[in-house]
Structures are given as C-alpha cells and as structure tokens.
Structure 1
C-alpha cells in the first residue's frame, strides 16, 4: 500500500473544499466534469488542485497525459481525502439541525446497478449516515409492482416511450450488442439468437416487438435475471444482447450496418411512492439527478 509522506506547517490545514474538488476530479475523469458536478467553474477546480498541491508540497495530478491521471502521491492521498470528507459529512449530519433520520427503501433496475449506482450510494451514506438505506435490485416491472403495494419508497427504473409515470431523468437509445457482430451477421437469414432478461422485461419486449415488426425470426438462447449472467453469455458469443448504449458492457461491440433494425429508445425515471418521507426521497433524488442526468452542453 502506498503511503504519503508530507511535512505540513502546524498552521497549515488541509482545506476540505480543495479535497472535495480533488476527489471529484478523480471520480469524474476531467476538470470540466468535476466542475459540473460541484456546480463551480473549471478554473476554480484548477485553483483548488493547485492550492492543495502547494499545501502538501507534492504534485498530485500527472499533467503529461490528456486524461486526468493521479501521480503516486495523488493515489496515496485519495483514500485519506475520501475518509476526511466522509467524516466531515457524518459530523454535519450528526449535529446539524436538519439532519435526516429514518428508513428509505430504494429499488433500482438491474442495468443501472451494473454501471452507475456505486457513487450514488457512497454519496448518500456519507451525507446521511443516520438514514437506513435498503436496496432492492430487480427488473423495472417488478419494481413498479413493489412500489404499488408499498414495499419500496423510490424506484429508479426504465419506462417505454410514451408512458408518463415518474420524473424523467433522460432518454437513451437501445442498441444491439455482440462479441463479434460480423460473425452474427454471417448467419443472416437464421433466427436472431437473443440473450435477454426474463419477462416482464422492457428491453426484451422492445427487441422482440422490433424484430416481429420487421418479420425477422428470433429465438431466445439465454435467459437470466442478472445482467452479469447475460453479459457472460454475450461475451461467450452465444448471441445478441440489447442494452442502453451508455451501459454497454465491456467486451461487447455495437451491431452496425443496418442488418438489424433500429430499436426504440427507453427513458430512465424516478418514481416515488405516494406517502413516502418527502425529505428522504428528495435527498436521494438530488444525488441521482446529479450523477445520472447528462449536463447540458
């Protein structure tokens, strides 16, 4: 494990705002994205990093690469910076007048969990340590059913274009994915081998309806309720998987060339339960929006 050795004057204290910019920069991968996430200017993020480096007497960011990359000293600082921010959040939550307490039951669709949920949960438990957060991962349709019967307080899931339930976060194109699209194409004329979630599944239904409209034969070669299982089957070359473009698993390529018809978009939404604790729901919803909604421009 790397250790960071610095000599800091006793009158010099690390600035938590500078540390927050440092952590956000590492997590987002760019000064622009970090600035958008924090709601400040890009030049301000740059100043925070420069002042932090000056305070420690160490270079934290490797400026010889186009992408943000930490130096050895920056990597060593990262865990300490996160711990300090975490402790600061807990202290404010513990003694703040408006601290949140209670239980919040969150339901999240399987594909969102695989790609974007970790940082949202980290932020929430750091900022609201007195809230008991319960997480349920399932397909969108079962999550809506659990919400209807009062088993969940907030759902982050997909909906079909044209549906109106929930707060729209963003719209995303669905794409056909395969380990080797050209190998799949060589079998054109044969039933399309589909790798899909079990019913009811929004992505499965869209894929099947699209193929049916274009009179293209299909067959299910793998069914699994876990995206990791579906991804393993696709990486093994069993067939074609449908996913939102930004959530395409590593090792899979988008099927192009027009031999498979374009798919409908899906929308990602937040749906609160009527009667749920409004303060808890809004606190988590704000973090989800900050992490998931694409920034304008």
Structure 2
C-alpha cells in the first residue's frame, strides 16, 4: 500500500531536486523527509533517488513512479475539494508575461487544473504592460508579470538581473552598431536596454522585433544579434555578455497582481501554487524555447 504522506515528500524532492527545499515547502524537518523517502523505497523494494552532497536526481524507478505519485496526490486533493464548499470554482482569467511561458509554467498549470477541476482556467500571454492594461479593463483576474524596481503595482515574488545574451558575443560586439533582438513596444525589457545604451552612448540598430520569445530566441541562436532576458530565463545556447563590454542593466521584479473583483479563494489557491513551485527562486531556465 502506497503511503500518501511518503509520496508527497517524494514528489516535492523530485520537484525541487533538494531535500532541504522540499522540507521547507512541506514545513517538515529534513530528517523527516529523508525518512519518508527511505520508507517508500523499502516498501517498494526499489531505489528511487540518487543523492550526494551536490545533486539529487531520480533513478529510472523514481522517474517511473513520479507520474503515478502525482496522480494519486491529485486524486486525494480532488476528493477533498469535492466536499469543500469554499473550494475554488468558476472562471479564472490568468495573464502571464511572454518571458515566463516556458520553464515551470506547464507543470504549474497542470497541477492547478488537476487540483481544482471546478475552475475554468483561461490563459492570456502578452507583454507585461499589455497585461496591465487588460487587467485595468477588467479582463484578467490575476497577472504574473515584470515590473521596474521602485514601482508599486503587484506583490513581488523575486528580483532578477537583466543580462545581455548572444550566441557569438565577439562577433556582435565587433559590429559598428549593436544589433538588437527585442520585443516590440511597450516591452519593459526593451525600454530598459535602450535606456542603458543611450546613457552609455552605444550605437545600436534593431535587427529583429517579435512578440514571441521563441522567435527572438531563434534569431539570437542564429547569430543575428543580442537578446536581453532575466538571467534565470536565459535560453540555452546563448552566452552572457558582462560589463564593461556592454552597459549594466537594471534589475526587474516578478510580481503577482490581483484584481479587486477576482474570486479570493481561486486567487489564493493559484498564488499558493506559484509560491510552492518557485519558492525563493524561479529555477525557470528553459532548454528548448
């Protein structure tokens, strides 16, 4: 018989790749989480996790168990929600910045849909300022986006440095005008990088403007120019260009912004999912965008 408490610890370790982080998010002692894993392994007669001082990763048997463990835990939560009169339900309109659509977003949405089947989740992806305008018009209940340091809109989750990225930094830096790969206005990232270049007196030209991060990434990987992204979101295959080769960029903050008319129970449940997933850091690096 599989123990749901043990499975919960196993899934959190798999998600965070850390016994320490898993214990923090489950509000348990690290030794308790370790005991849960050991008992689960003994009960199954299989080793589920390889761990050393630097790395925690699932074994082949651990990878095989993970989807079943998630499904069992989701069924437990769904059963509890079925008899909870205050459980989230009804339409929920969520907007997210284009920067954040890869990484852990698919898993976040999958978990939320599985846990709250009575919620009708509606997703919008756009630039941060566009999402803010949609929310002001009453079109979105919750927005996850970027803001400039010092702005007050939203509840900050974490602060991230913006960095310059290119597939071949030496080649793009050798050009007489820096070739830029950017989102169109009203992109905050575009605004901050251009302000930095103007302050520094660096000549530039736009070689690619695209609404889609995947399109910008493709152009950067092809060597067309430089792309600016939060460091934790830097696509694979690109190298960071550090000052003084190019001017330092401002940090940005990722925030959750709730509409006054939004259902409190639904927003609270989704916000909890975000914080459980990302904790003190996003770990959002994506390899295929």
TM-score normalised according to structure 1 size: 0.90
Q: Deviations for 1:123-181, whole angstroms, at most 9, x for unmatched residues?
A: 31222121111110110011001001111011110111221111111111100011121
Match of 1:162 among 147, 150, 154: 150
Which residue does 1:247 correspond to in 2? 233
CA distance in 1 between counterparts of 2:7 and 2:105 reads 22
Whether the 8 Å contact between 1:170 and 1:293 is mirrored in structure 2 is no
Give the CA RMSD over aligned residues.
Answer: 1.6
Give the drift of 1:117.
1.3
Structure 1 residue ranges without an equivalent (≥5):
1-12
Whether the 8 Å contact between 2:50 and 2:56 is mirrored in structure 1 is yes
Match of 1:205 among 173, 181, 191: 191
- 1:228 equivalenced with 2:211 (yes/no): no
CA distance in 2 between counterparts of 1:280 and 1:118 reads 18
1:69 is paired with a residue whose SS is: strand
Whether the 8 Å contact between 2:182 and 2:228 is mirrored in structure 1 is yes
Give the drift of 1:183.
2.2
- 1:256 equivalenced with 2:251 (yes/no): no
CA distance in 1 between counterparts of 2:142 and 2:17 reads 29
Which residue does 1:120 correspond to in 2? 108
1:268 is paired with a residue whose SS is: strand
Whether the 8 Å contact between 1:141 and 1:200 is mirrored in structure 2 is yes
1:25 is paired with a residue whose SS is: helix
Q: Deviations for 1:213-272, whole angstroms, at most 9, x for unmatched residues?
A: 111111111111111111111111110000001111111111025110000111111111
> Where has structure 1 moved over 6 Å in runs of 4 or more?
none
Match of 2:93 among 98, 102, 105: 105
1:280 is paired with a residue whose SS is: helix
Whether the 8 Å contact between 1:93 and 1:130 is mirrored in structure 2 is no
| Most deviating of 163-172 and 67-76 | 67-76
Structure index of larger Rg: 1
CA distance in 1 between counterparts of 2:157 and 2:23 reads 20
Which residue does 2:180 correspond to in 1? 194
